[in-house]
């Protein structure tokens, strides 16, 4: 299914890696906030049953009446699932643990791989005028992640700077290739972003070298450092850009947002 982006459509990016603990949710939250700082309107879709992106942006459980589960399986209207956050210009579709059963329920649905694609292309989406839609995927290559890839224009892959980091990429790349061949021929890899990088650590430097040697220009120039302020920010339900705006982590996510926008030839409003 061809679904080329135009300048008036939001750019939809799935943030995916089947390995847990690589910085997917941290990147989703902070890249969203950094894009907003650049003048963009952003929608973050929490597609992880853990709901950490929702919690990290201050959406309490009792405020999650309609979530990605209802969007996918109950066909609830966009205006009933999109919520504003404390950050002006950043909205979210939250998630709860209910989403953990979605994979089983989706199997019986003939359109199981296209539910998120169709939901994000409702006519009602136009009035929100989002520039970017970021999808925080679960740490697995299940039907939820496939839905995200079918719905997206590209996939951004956080890669933790640790031993065996590159090994898991092969299965992810295979899944992307299969989605491209079967359901979304225009899907591409937005890029690989190195996370939790410690410049004092020889291993981090070796992982970076291996990644750039093997993946070339697919690896973002920006590197996200291991930074205690980035780790602390979610417990205060805010992005690190607000929690400690001058920290190295905040500066890195700003650089990542700028690099992403340059790649997509989008400038701040």
Window from 16-30, 157-171, 199-213, 215-229 with minimum mean pLDDT: 157-171
Q: What is the mean pLDDT of the chain?
A: 91
pLDDT at 11: 96
User: What CATH number is given for 11-263 in this structure?
Assistant: 3.40.50.300
Q: Residues near 214 by Cβ (< 8 Å), separated by ≥ 6?
A: 166
Q: Give the integer Cα–Cα distance in Å for 177 and 188.
A: 9
Which residue ranges make up each domain of the chain? 11-263
- The DSSP bridge pattern shows strands 188-197 and 219-225 to be parallel
pLDDT of residue 2: 44
For the residues 193-214, what does the mean pLDDT come to? 91
For every residue of 239-265, DSSP letters joined together read -HHHHSTTSHHHHHHHHHHHHHHHHTT
Per-residue pLDDT tens for 93-113? Answer: 999 999 999 888 888 888 899
Q: Which whole number is the average pLDDT over 104-125?
A: 91
- Asked if residues 26 and 115 have their Cβ atoms less than 8 Å apart, the reply is no
């Amino acid at each position: 299914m061809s679904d080329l982006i135009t300048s008036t459509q939001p750019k939809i990016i799935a943030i995916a890696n089947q390995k847990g603990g690589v910085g997917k949710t941290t990147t989703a939250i902070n890249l969203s906030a950094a894009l907003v700082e650049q003048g963009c309107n952003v929608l973050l879709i929490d597609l992880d049953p853990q709901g950490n992106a929702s919690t990290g942006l201050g959406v309490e459980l009792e405020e999650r009446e309609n979530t990605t589960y209802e969007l996918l399986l109950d066909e609830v209207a966009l205006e009933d699932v999109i919520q504003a956050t404390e950050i002006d210009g950043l909205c979210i579709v939250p998630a709860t643990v209910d989403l953990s059963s979605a994979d089983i329920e989706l199997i019986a649905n003939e359109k199981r791989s296209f539910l998120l694609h169709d939901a994000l292309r409702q006519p009602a989406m136009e009035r929100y005028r989002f520039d970017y839609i970021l999808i925080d995927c679960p740490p697995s290559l299940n039907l939820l992640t496939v839905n995200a890839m079918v719905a997206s224009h590209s996939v951004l892959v956080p890669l933790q700077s640790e031993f065996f980091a590159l090994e898991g990429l092969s299965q992810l790349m295979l899944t992307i290739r299969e989605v491209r061949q079967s359901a979304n021929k225009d899907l591409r890899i937005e890029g690989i972003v190195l996370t939790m990088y410690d410049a004092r650590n020889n291993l981090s430097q070796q992982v970076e070298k291996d990644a750039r040697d093997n993946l070339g220009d697919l690896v973002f120039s920006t590197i996200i450092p291991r930074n205690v302020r980035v780790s602390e920010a979610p417990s205060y339900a805010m992005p690190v850009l607000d929690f400690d705006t001058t920290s190295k982590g905040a500066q890195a996510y700003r650089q990542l947002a700028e690099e992403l926008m340059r790649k997509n030839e989008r400038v701040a409003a």
